[in-house]
């Protein structure tokens, strides 16, 4: 047991000892120690370390509850003292509230523990490798690495802990204006040679960007969307697309899929699959999560994510925490990645999409931009870089009747989001070949 895990467990024990009869306590923990090194022009722009840990306390009695979030300083005695005072405040606050009709309490005492080994490199050494490999390139990016912990404890006796150590290097290399190519390397085991290999690939792509960009007019083009581009589209579906509450309240972009008015191509199958990811197997309120929840099967909506409050409100079994996928997996298809250019023939190779948003959520119509080394292809041969273009198209078309094929190879894409803290989300995605992507400007 690590010190952080032991301290959290002891904190929970101490707080549970001061509960009054009839009270229950839920304690959710989040912590990280992260190195962040920001680069520009292959030099260091900002470098530092962030250590943070916080807990959310939920005090419950008679169906009434009140919650508070506090940072932890790391001194077990002082943290216990601070949180004991918070408990008193919550007790006072709770008594003035009505019972919560959507409260679902996890009364299980059985917890789970995942404690991965720390196999991360020294961040300074990794950054020096990155800089050395990028000599001569106008490289911009971020290195982040460190431990991430999630924990849950309750007065029912549950003690769950999840600790992983991840790194993430994300970079782009710029030739001129917005002509750029991007790369990334993320995981739990770092190999300097793999970083070097990926940077060499970026360098090669950057060289190809020097060609005169293609003159592309707005219109509809046959296109291959690489996994990173598919991630942006599927990411939009995570904005309520698989949420039970969003479907029941009409706020989902997949309303027509849910009502059977529309369907996706029968080759499209998606699931929330925790066996493939780094996300914890328990929710912030202590519920154990199923390893796999089918979401789309053969183009039809196969299931929805049901969080604890929705489970109570809509009387369905819980299978998720926040009703947004954390480890989304899309099934691979028949296309061989090595033969994509041949299959594409003439059209667009879209490496990345960016800044997507809905043009019309009811039609699941999404707009966004191409970004980072997209190419114009003719006769199965890359001809020229694509200038930055806007697309505007419906998922029902792109993943529906215009879907020509899905690659058998898939890419595991860890989330690069670091708002507030690092996340453990990720997606396992293939590339897709479509018979038309509509460019508007």
Partner 1 sequence: MSDAIVRRFLEHAPAVDAWTLRLVRERGRRIAVRQDVLEPTVSHDGQGAMVSVSLGDGWGYAATCDLSASGLSAAGQQAARWARVSRDAAVAPALPPSRLRGGYNSPVVQAWSAVGLAELSDRLRGWCARMAGDRRISDRQAVLDCRENETRIVTSLGGDMGQRTSLVLPWLAATASQGSESQTRSFGRDAGRQGGLEQLLALEVDSVPERLADEAVQLLLAPDCPSGRRDIVALPSQMVLQIHETIGHPLELDRILGDERNFAGTSFVTPEMFGTYRYGSELLNIRNDPQLPGEIASFAYDDEGTPATREYLIRQGILLRGLGGALSQARSHLPGTASTRASSWNRPAIDRMANLNLEAGDATLEQLIAGIGDGLLLDTNRSWSVDDSRNKFQFGCEFARRISDGRLSGVVKNANYRGISSSFWRSLTGVGSSVQVAGTPNCGKGEPNQIIHVGHASPACRFSDVDVFGGG
Contact 247, 241 (CB under 8 A): no
Place of tokens 């594409």: 344
Contact 288, 162 (CB under 8 A): no
Binding residue for partner 1, selected from 249, 291, 342, 379, defined by CB under 8 A:
249
Place of tokens 């009434």: 64
Residues 188-247 that bind partner 1 (CB under 8 A): none
Closest distance between partner 1 and the C-beta of residue 227, in Å? 18
- Of the pair 19, 388, the CB lying nearest partner 1 is at 388
> Three-class SS of residue 89?
helix
Contact 22, 91 (CB under 8 A): no
Binding residue for partner 1, selected from 265, 371, 402, 410, defined by CB under 8 A:
371
Tell me the β-bridge partners of 60: 24, 65
CB-based burial label for 250 (10 Å; 0-12, 13-18, 19+): exposed
Closest distance between partner 1 and the C-beta of residue 335, in Å? 29
Binding residue for partner 1, selected from 346, 357, 380, 401, defined by CB under 8 A:
357
d(CA 127, CA 96): 53
Residues 379-418 as x/- pattern, contact with partner 1 by CB under 8 A: ---------x-x-x------------------------xx
Q: How many residues bind to partner 1 according to rule CB under 8 A?
A: 93
Residues 63-82 as x/- pattern, contact with partner 1 by CB under 8 A: --xxxxxxxxxxx--x----
d(CA 121, CA 110): 34
- Of the pair 72, 340, the CB lying nearest partner 1 is at 72
In what helix (H) or strand (E) does residue 355 lie, and over which residues does it extend? strand 352-360
Residues 4-43 as x/- pattern, contact with partner 1 by CB under 8 A: ------------------------------x-xxx-xx-x
d(CA 384, CA 164): 42
- 182 lies in the binding site for partner 1 (CB under 8 A): yes
DSSP state of 212: P
Residues 302-341 that bind partner 1 (CB under 8 A): 309
Closest distance between partner 1 and the C-beta of residue 356, in Å? 7
- 84 lies in the binding site for partner 1 (CB under 8 A): no
d(CA 161, CA 3): 12
Closest distance between partner 1 and the C-beta of residue 379, in Å? 29
Residues 93-122 that bind partner 1 (CB under 8 A): 93, 96-98, 100-103
- 420 lies in the binding site for partner 1 (CB under 8 A): yes
What is 381-408 written as a DSSP string? Answer: EEEEEPPP-EEEEEHHIIIIITEEEEEE
- Of the pair 150, 422, the CB lying nearest partner 1 is at 422
Query: Which of the stretches 137-145, 205-213, 223-231, 331-339 binds partner 1 when contact is defined by CB under 8 A?
Result: 137-145
d(CA 269, CA 429): 11
């Amino acid at each position: 047991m690590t010190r952080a895990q032991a301290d959290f467990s002891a904190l929970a024990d101490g707080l549970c000892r001061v509960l009054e009869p009839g009270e229950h306590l839920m304690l959710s923990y989040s912590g990280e120690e992260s190195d962040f090194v920001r680069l520009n022009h292959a030099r260091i722009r900002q470098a530092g370390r962030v250590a943070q840990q916080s807990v959310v306390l939920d005090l419950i009695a008679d169906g009434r509850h009140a919650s508070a979030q506090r940072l932890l300083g790391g001194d077990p005695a002082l943290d216990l003292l601070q949180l004991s005072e918070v408990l008193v405040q919550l007790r006072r606050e709770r008594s003035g509230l009505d019972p919560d009709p959507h409260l679902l309490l996890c009364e299980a005492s059985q917890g789970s523990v995942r404690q991965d080994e720390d196999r991360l490199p020294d961040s300074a050494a990794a950054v020096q490798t990155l800089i050395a490999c990028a000599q001569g390139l106008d490289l911009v990016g971020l290195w982040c690495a460190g431990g991430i912990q999630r924990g849950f404890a309750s007065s029912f006796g549950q003690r769950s802990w999840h600790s992983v150590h991840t790194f993430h290097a994300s970079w782009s290399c710029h030739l001129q204006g917005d002509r750029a190519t991007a790369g990334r390397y993320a995981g739990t085991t770092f190999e300097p040679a793999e970083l070097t290999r990926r940077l060499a690939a970026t360098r090669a792509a950057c060289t190809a960007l020097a060609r005169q960009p293609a003159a592309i007019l707005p219109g509809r083009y046959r296109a291959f969307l690489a996994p990173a581009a598919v991630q942006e589209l599927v990411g939009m579906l995570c904005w309520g697309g698989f949420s039970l509450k969003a479907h029941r309240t009409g706020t989902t972009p997949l309303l027509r899929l849910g009502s059977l008015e529309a369907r996706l191509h029968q080759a499209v199958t998606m699931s929330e699959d925790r066996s493939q990811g780094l996300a914890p197997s328990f929710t912030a309120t202590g519920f154990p999560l199923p390893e796999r929840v089918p979401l789309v099967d053969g183009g039809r909506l196969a299931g929805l994510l049901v969080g604890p409050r929705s489970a109570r409100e809509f009387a369905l079994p819980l299978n998720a925490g926040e009703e947004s996928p954390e480890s989304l997996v899309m099934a691979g298809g028949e296309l061989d990645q090595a033969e994509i250019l041949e299959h594409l023939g003439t059209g667009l190779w879209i490496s990345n999409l960016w800044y997507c948003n809905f043009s019309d959520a009811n039609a699941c119509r999404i707009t966004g931009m191409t970004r980072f080394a997209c190419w114009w292809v003719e006769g199965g041969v890359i001809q020229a870089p694509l200038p930055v273009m806007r697309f505007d198209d419906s998922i029902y078309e792109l993943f529906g009747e215009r879907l020509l094929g899905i690659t058998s190879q898939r890419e595991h894409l860890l989330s690069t989001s670091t708002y507030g803290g690092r996340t453990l989300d990720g997606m396992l995605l293939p590339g897709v070949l479509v018979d038309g992507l509509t460019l508007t400007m």
